[in-house]
Structure 1
Amino acid sequence: MTHIMVLGAGYTGMMAAIRVAVKTRRQGVRVTLVNASPRFTERLRMHQTAAGQRLTCHSIEKVIAGTGITFLRDRVTGLDPGRHEVTLQSGRVARFDKLIYALGTVTDRSTPGVSEHAHVYDDHDGAVRLADALNRLTEGTVVVAGGGLTGVESVTEIAEAHPHLRVVLLSRGTPAAMMGDSARAYVLRAMDRLGIEVRAGAEVEKVLPDAVALAGGELIESSVTLWTAGTTGLPLARESGLAVDGRGRVVVDATLRSVSHPDVYAVGDAAAVRQSYGVIHGTCQSGIPTALHAADVIAARLRGGRARPFRFGYFHQPLSLGRGDAVIQFTRNDDSPRRAYLTGRWAIVYKEAVTRSPLPGMALLKRGLVPARAFRVSNG
């Protein structure tokens, strides 16, 4: 019996496990899903948790019920792809025939003081700790470092939920720089309306217990600091001997198989997936299609069929600006902005539609009622 092991139960790990279990149901295949937490966390909504909103808790075992997948609650501490072995925190060593590596990325903590003094979004508990810290403040300053989509969504959510606090956004460049001029201008006006102080061109030198030090010596007081400025792959991939890129992501071929170990596939944020326009960046928009494609490739190869190359093109950049506003930047396949964008009420409706919980889709996927292409925003 072929044993397929999936490491990580985020968006991509869950989708990959369910898809490969369904596709190989009649092929004598055993599927094991490994995750340190028993809950499925919607990472797209971490900023809502941080702002104090109560979101539904989803049990991984309930989500995969009826698929035949074995759920193993444990933390991966070692991987030997050559020997086809995974070492777990419990001391158990599990063997696999095929592996789907879906452990995602973690916050880049290379800036001094981030590990000791900043909050990060590496897991649900981290977002809860941030929410607790913010709720304890009756006054003071909150600093959010990072002007990308995560930073902007977080700073607007926090400013809206805690209007009594001073909120500062630090960005190396212009916040929401990936958007077109008009959509970006709308984002900046929204932050101004919420009273957020935006410091563009700010280079953080160090995070202190009660301040953030900028290059040049300026100190910005900070009662709570949230760090969203960059991610990196887990050390596990590099330490295991898998070929990785400069950010620690597993380098894969056109079918999402590791270029160094052919029985390992990598998906989502954890994979360096090259397309004609470059390496895709980690988002749910691109991550779920990689998960479904890797599952289909494994199933096809087990049947002796042909593995199709992965093709993906971006379609939009959905960005919430608190609970009462949003902007949607439509894009070309390479994620560069088009002229078209949505704002306000229609943008809120659009974003909730495209970023709604994937659980209904997973339920249909378990029953084999939805083809993989239905989850692809664009196929390039």
Structure 2
Amino acid sequence: MSYVYIANSKERTVSAYQRVVILGAGYAGVMAANRLAGSKSLVGQVQVTVVNPHAEFIDRIRLHEVAAGSRKSAAVPMASLLNPAAAVVVGTATRIDPHARLVQFADGREPLAYDLLVYAVGSATAGAGSEGYGVQSAQEAARLRIRLEQLDARAVVTVVGGGLTGIETASEIAERHPRLRVRLVSKGGIGADLSTSGQRELQRKLRALGVELVENTEVENSGEGQLTTSSGARLESDCTVWTAGFSTPDLARASGLPVDPDGRLLVDETLSVPEFPEIFGAGDAVRAPDSVAAHLRMACAVAMPMGAHAANNIIARLEQHAPQAFSNGFMARCISLGRTAGLIQFVHADDRPRPLAIGGRPGAFLKEQVCRLALRWMRDELRHSGSYSWPKGPRAEQPALAEAL
């Protein structure tokens, strides 16, 4: 337990508080900070500090728009999203000392002490080759935007990765830069995990935009002006955009914390680290057990619930209540296909597609509303801690019933 002096013009009192440090100010980190800093039951008991490399919040689901030139910036003033009771430290953490409960920084500044910690440092695309571009950070998106504007007519832009990020990036570039040839290369089938109607609508729109689809093809390496596939084939590419794979900061591994082979922090069902129960994890850089997370994918629709749940369990810990297991399910996959079309694929809680999918302009409208909701939910949590809720995860079902659904 730590103590802080709170002074005013009339008196000086002593208040006990717990120091909660949140590493990362993305969707998970901001949601956790707002729930903790605004908790009425913890008034005067916690000091929340958010550590982030940047002073602004980056709305990552908008970065493909920035890269294509459809949007000027994905940066949002942190003050508009984060509870003012939470302090912000702009810096990069390089090591966590879980025994001394200290966070150390890249610039050598004084370590930051904590009583409880939320690890929410996010992820990035695992790019390949020095010639490649990405859309996972503001810097990457800005660099790609400049490159696209410099390309000559009929230059080939290859987007590697047929997941949702790759699909959205290829669509946005093709619509914004019709003078360019856009190719989307996927290790598997593009949209293979959608319903039949969803696949049909997706591929129809991609082809209408002029996107060349190269499926069931893995890119092994890249060189100047070309890519080499696993079959040995060579594809010309004047600009290669990598959206396949992911990487996480090496912070957890460098700190001696338990990680999976990809470097993600290993947590239990309550999102805490068993060896160090005062450390909680949320977002892309965390691996929870399959019992609660086997169906989950990297998305803000997962990061925000994880951040809120980690905060809930910190509150439970401080109030001496039992922590609860994490539960999170899905309702839909929302895909932008340029500014005038989108695809809403309705899904079961475990992310299996339902038959219904909405495309075209209605899909674009619904996708835009969902993107706006992400910021709105964080702002609502700022004003009313505990207001954000999310769909629960799949329940254990009988095989026959699961197949019927």
Aligned residue for 1:103? 121
> Matches of 1:336 and 1:304 in 2, distance apart?
37
Shift of 1:364: 2.4
Indicate the structure (1 or 2) with the bigger Cα radius of gyration. 2
Q: Indicate conservation of the 8 Å contact 1:273/1:280, yes or no.
A: no
1:126-167: CA deviation from partner (whole Å, max 9, x where unpaired): 111101110111221100000000000000100001100111
The one-letter code sitting in structure 2 at the alignment partner of 1:120 is G
Aligned residue for 1:138? 152
Q: Indicate conservation of the 8 Å contact 1:46/1:124, yes or no.
A: yes
Gaps of 5+ in 1: none
Specify which of 81, 86, 90 is matched with residue 103 of structure 2: 86
> Matches of 2:392 and 2:34 in 1, distance apart?
22
Change (3 A) 1:36 1:245: same
Which runs of structure 2 are paired with 1:245-256 in the superposition (5 Å)?
Answer: 245-256=260-271
The one-letter code sitting in structure 2 at the alignment partner of 1:100 is V
- Per the normalisation by structure 1, the TM-score is 0.93
Identity over aligned pairs, percent: 34
Shift of 1:232: 2.6
Aligned residue for 2:177? 162
Shift of 1:215: 2.1
Specify which of 83, 87, 93 is matched with residue 76 of structure 1: 93
Q: Indicate conservation of the 8 Å contact 2:129/2:221, yes or no.
A: no
Aligned residue for 2:66? 49
Aligned residue for 2:341? 325
> Matches of 1:279 and 1:94 in 2, distance apart?
35
Q: Indicate conservation of the 8 Å contact 1:152/1:321, yes or no.
A: yes
Does 1:12 find its partner at 2:1?
no
Does 1:124 find its partner at 2:142?
no
How big is the alpha-carbon RMSD for the aligned residues of Structure 1 and Structure 2? 1.7
Specify which of 190, 196, 199 is matched with residue 184 of structure 1: 199
Change (3 A) 1:247 1:378: same
1:228-266: CA deviation from partner (whole Å, max 9, x where unpaired): 011132221122122122322112112111133211111
Does 1:316 find its partner at 2:329?
no
Q: Indicate conservation of the 8 Å contact 1:33/1:71, yes or no.
A: yes
The one-letter code sitting in structure 1 at the alignment partner of 2:161 is G
> Matches of 1:124 and 1:28 in 2, distance apart?
36
Shift of 1:11: 1.0
Does 1:269 find its partner at 2:284?
yes
The one-letter code sitting in structure 2 at the alignment partner of 1:107 is T
The one-letter code sitting in structure 2 at the alignment partner of 1:371 is S
- Per the normalisation by structure 2, the TM-score is 0.88
Shift of 1:277: 6.8
1:256-291: CA deviation from partner (whole Å, max 9, x where unpaired): 111332111110111112345725221111111110
Q: Indicate conservation of the 8 Å contact 1:250/1:270, yes or no.
A: yes
Aligned residue for 1:240? 255
Shift of 1:65: 5.2
Secondary structure in 1 aligned to 2:130? Answer: helix
> Matches of 1:94 and 1:149 in 2, distance apart?
37
1:181-224: CA deviation from partner (whole Å, max 9, x where unpaired): 22012111111111111110111111112211112332211111
Aligned residue for 2:398? none
The one-letter code sitting in structure 1 at the alignment partner of 2:269 is A
Secondary structure in 2 aligned to 1:34? Answer: strand
Specify which of 240, 244, 249 is matched with residue 225 of structure 1: 240
Q: Indicate conservation of the 8 Å contact 1:77/1:89, yes or no.
A: yes
